[in-house]
Structure 1
């Protein structure tokens, strides 16, 4: 029952709705006592021969009025309690989604998308049920059961009431034990569903790769195995769940047996009337629901508790990068100074960057080259402030980047990542993502700068063409250029292209770079690339190796050194010559 205490913040917020709902539940519980008593009186009047048409009509009118009032009350308590529980589901989903948007790359490296989706769907539903059906069964079982027992004891016979309650400890012990088992097994079932959810999301996203490798049958077998695990784990839950009703039915049967046996004895002794015994057994019938509700309550609460544990563990995960108090709410602009003595990714043993330093004036272009894993992307992640744990300083416009709010810092940066993500909407809305109010001319201008405009016009519906999930309908080069156009729509002070020209040919690359140079004469640009042709025009070039700067300078200076940069340049020139069939341009 601790889950109700943990949800105290919500019950306090919805105190009015829950108070009205519980009050109506109590009134319904009291009104339920009227029909059995009237039935008992009517039977005694029949036995005494005193029942008349007038008195029968009166008793029927009382029952009809009671039923009508209960109907209205039941409508409104459902509206108050279940309406509030739906509101809790909305709050939890929003909390989770807001938390997801704050988390950094490390969070998503450790957790699978399918698992996070399961938290926001199945787990939220289980907690929502606790705040709805759980509250209902808790108060309804207590109020209905309590009032029925009081009515049995004070209006009929307290001795028979105590006798009828003898089996109750058996039910309390059994349901408590079942509840503990249910909590553990339901948590395992939810984890299995998360695995299946993740597998489904991964398979659908990677369907092209799966088909190209002819892996469909293997993938189906993996899915079937995970699906069977979900079934098996839920059957284990169902086995425990199935014990509640038989146990409660057994307790109820014992209570009926004891009531009829001792009630008959009391009638023979003249301590009770037949009408009293019938009213008593009718009241005992009203106890069936509270007893079943207790079993349901344990079921609902343990499921909700297990799910709330999973949700809280996510929400308690600390945000990697937080705004400090008094952070500046201005978009940075100006020179960039990057001086890092050491930076290590979380849970890595060895530093990713060591003694990396450069200064970039506003309007200049920085080129970063190097092999995969040399530290190029790490520099960009630190500039984007995706990580804060490093030794050194990074300033933008003369101020440390952590002096700015993250939102304002990132408004200054147009970032085109290696992994180009496009939303499953039209080309137009993908480009205008950062500015929904942008007009057609602005969108087309960005597309022309990225040299994707002509391609878009050849699409079936032009700018209204839906690209499919993650841009599945487009080529790699088209996705890259749409991503560049989207970044340009921000009109950023700093444009970062993280190996974002790798899928375009050399001629298109040259055209894009020329357009960017003309378009962004007074703006800063950082380009990482494996192809030196993409960065040889830069004001400063860094050649990265093993997380540090191996060589540094302009294209001409690095060529004059005849070092690693020179060797790579000569090798790439040779590769291009071979591709052209040995003919110089």
Structure 2
């Protein structure tokens, strides 16, 4: 946790003022019992009314100073902790954005959300408590002991017995609670994961009638968290009554022993009353520490989880000396292989090909053949295990990531849209795109027709994930988002699967004119989508099973012929073969 608290440097002035306010508040509270003792021993005992008014007014003034300092300390500590929490969330979010997909796979989306929200909130709350209580408690304890001893040293022996007992109780409960707090945070992760899957997959759940099983899965995760929370709270609930019991017995012991000393003339009544107040302050300062002990174990677990994110080194780092490419849009794979972490077999092996501007390179193959893996290596979502990917003649590992990705227009397999308007989603590809550029990109992507049919046109709202649009509409907006930036390399990762054949044909015709000066990579399942490509790469179990045009592959590649025969009739295959021979 101390590693994270280094981020408090910008707030050191606020922290100093909080400690100063707490110090003054502690002094005022320590001074009040002495003033009360003076009123009893010198005012009431001697019937000196003016003295009572004088000291009473002084007590009121001291109490007012303590109250003002308490309010100021509360305000400043809240301001510091909220600012710290904001900065820490921003730092975690910014660091997570540098992660590759490998790190996201490692932590999990649900866990990253928990760490950025719940875990940082725990740390923030403990910081507020520490600025107030952790500073106040030692001041009150040390000051209370000094003042209590000054009133009656022999009576202070009661405290010598009580304080170690309370300290031991706090320590034992804190040690027992720590592993339970660790378990709680993991179970919150699990609950978030179940909830997130349930909300994002609600269509599938309802389609298969799995609502009851999902409720049971959620109830199990929620009940598991509840049971752990109850165990923790039982410990904490036992601590407060135990401490109050010790506190009350201490008070009885002080009154009993103090009454004997008053009877013997060794102590005055006012001093006994003041001593009881100081004893309460000392013991309540220990209770403050116990409250912190309740929160610190959980916050320390949260701090450890946040530190894990901040200390995670992204698998892909920027080149120390990025190179400047000399060509535009040239792509080359040289004997590239890639394996996912923990996988027994490589996802792709020994892939080599060239693709240049003005060419359409199509990638086709069965499910799990490595098509999406191959194109994900180009924007460096993952780094190659061996071999080299070159863009414009430069190894992409020697290019600045921003420069590399600025050359690419990427349309993912699963169309993902963001909350906002239709125009804002298209403009996501180029922030400063004009309205004309947005409309032109939508026209080429065959999205203009359905956008104009919306009630607010390009200002129509898009809900989270684009759930208020059909699959085909989302795909066309994703394509428009890539088109608006006019990149040097287009990557269409099975981006036409939700389109009907008529729209697919119109879109490919419009793209041909738009992308004639760019390099186009097109992952597809449909043979009709790839037939006209300049180069078709056939993948089978992560290896290249053939490269060439449609007609050539029909003669030379068994895998390609199987794919074609599964989609086209015999007459269409003959016609296509004859067209290829011509």
Provide the TM-score with structure 2 as the length reference: 0.94
Q: SS of the counterpart of 1:495?
A: strand
Equivalent residue, structure 1, for 2:525: 530
Alignment partners' CA distance in 2, 1:239 and 1:527: 60
**Residue of structure 1 aligned with 2:545, choices 543, 550, 572:** 550
Alignment partners' CA distance in 1, 2:218 and 2:571: 45
**Residue of structure 2 aligned with 1:489, choices 479, 484, 490:** 484
Q: SS of the counterpart of 2:319?
A: coil
Is 1:424 the counterpart of 2:422? The answer is: no
Is 1:374 the counterpart of 2:374? The answer is: no
Shift of 1:417: 0.9
Pair 460,362 (structure 1): closer, same or farther in 2 beyond 3 Å:
same
Q: SS of the counterpart of 1:14?
A: helix
Shift of 1:577: 6.9
Q: SS of the counterpart of 1:385?
A: coil
Is 1:36 the counterpart of 2:33? The answer is: yes
Query: Which 10-residue stretch deviates more, 265-274 or 340-349?
Result: 340-349
Shift of 1:314: 2.5
| 8 Å Cα contact 1:329-1:408 kept in structure 2 | no
Is 1:59 the counterpart of 2:55? The answer is: yes
Shift of 1:561: 2.7
Equivalent residue, structure 2, for 1:237: 232
Equivalent residue, structure 2, for 1:583: none
Alignment partners' CA distance in 2, 1:335 and 1:291: 70
Moved over 4 A (4+): 328-332, 575-578
- CA deviation string 1:68-90 (max 9, x = no partner): 21122222222332211112211
Q: SS of the counterpart of 1:503?
A: coil
Alignment partners' CA distance in 1, 2:517 and 2:65: 76
| 8 Å Cα contact 1:331-1:411 kept in structure 2 | no
1:317-328 map, 5 Å:
317-328=312-323
Is 1:299 the counterpart of 2:294? The answer is: yes
- CA deviation string 1:76-128 (max 9, x = no partner): 22233221111221122112211221222223334433222211111111111
Q: Which blocks of at least 5 consecutive residues in structure 1 are unaligned?
A: 579-585
Equivalent residue, structure 2, for 1:82: 78
- CA deviation string 1:447-501 (max 9, x = no partner): 1101111112223332233232212222221111111011111111101001111
Equivalent residue, structure 2, for 1:24: 21
Equivalent residue, structure 1, for 2:497: 502
Equivalent residue, structure 1, for 2:127: 131
Alignment partners' CA distance in 1, 2:562 and 2:36: 102
Q: SS of the counterpart of 1:158?
A: coil
Pair 229,465 (structure 1): closer, same or farther in 2 beyond 3 Å:
same
Query: Which 10-residue stretch deviates more, 115-124 or 73-82?
Result: 73-82
Q: SS of the counterpart of 1:147?
A: helix
Equivalent residue, structure 2, for 1:338: 333
| 8 Å Cα contact 1:343-1:389 kept in structure 2 | yes
Q: SS of the counterpart of 2:429?
A: coil
For these two proteins, the number of residue pairs brought into alignment is 573
Q: SS of the counterpart of 1:356?
A: strand
**Residue of structure 2 aligned with 1:270, choices 265, 268, 274:** 265
Pair 489,196 (structure 1): closer, same or farther in 2 beyond 3 Å:
same
Is 1:140 the counterpart of 2:136? The answer is: yes
Is 1:96 the counterpart of 2:106? The answer is: no
| 8 Å Cα contact 1:324-1:402 kept in structure 2 | yes
Shift of 1:204: 1.1
| 8 Å Cα contact 1:329-1:405 kept in structure 2 | no
Equivalent residue, structure 2, for 1:581: none
Provide the TM-score with structure 1 as the length reference: 0.93
Q: SS of the counterpart of 1:572?
A: coil
Shift of 1:331: 11
Equivalent residue, structure 1, for 2:470: 475
**Residue of structure 1 aligned with 2:105, choices 92, 98, 109:** 109
Q: Which blocks of at least 5 consecutive residues in structure 2 are unaligned?
A: 574-582
Shift of 1:282: 2.2
Q: SS of the counterpart of 2:329?
A: coil
